[in-house]
Amino acid sequence: MPQKSNADHKRLMRVEVQFRTISMDWWASLEHKIRYKKGLQESDHVDQELFECAKMSAELDSRMEKLQQFVGQQSVIWSGDQG
């Protein structure tokens, strides 16, 4: 009698799914290269620079989101004027 492989069985599994924006993926990739690929020792300077860059990135993300909301609101106003 042939044996069934694990592929023949279904079971529920817990998984973790991560959704990233393009900028989040870029950031994670770049930080990994800086921290691990270059073989750097622990560095307070690198940590501080990454922290400062993260703050600037968060500010940029917030500003872009506000701009997107503004443009979305303007689109509603403009589309209402054409009727």
> Average pLDDT, whole number, for the chain?
83
* DSSP one-letter string for 16-76: ------HHHHHHHHHHHIIIIIT-PPP-HHHHHHHHHHHHHHHHHHHHHHHHHHHHHHHHH
Summarised one tens digit per residue, pLDDT across range 42-74 is 788 888 999 999 899 889 989 999 999 999 888
Average pLDDT over residues 3-12: 76
- Say what the pTM is: 0.58
pLDDT score at 13: 92
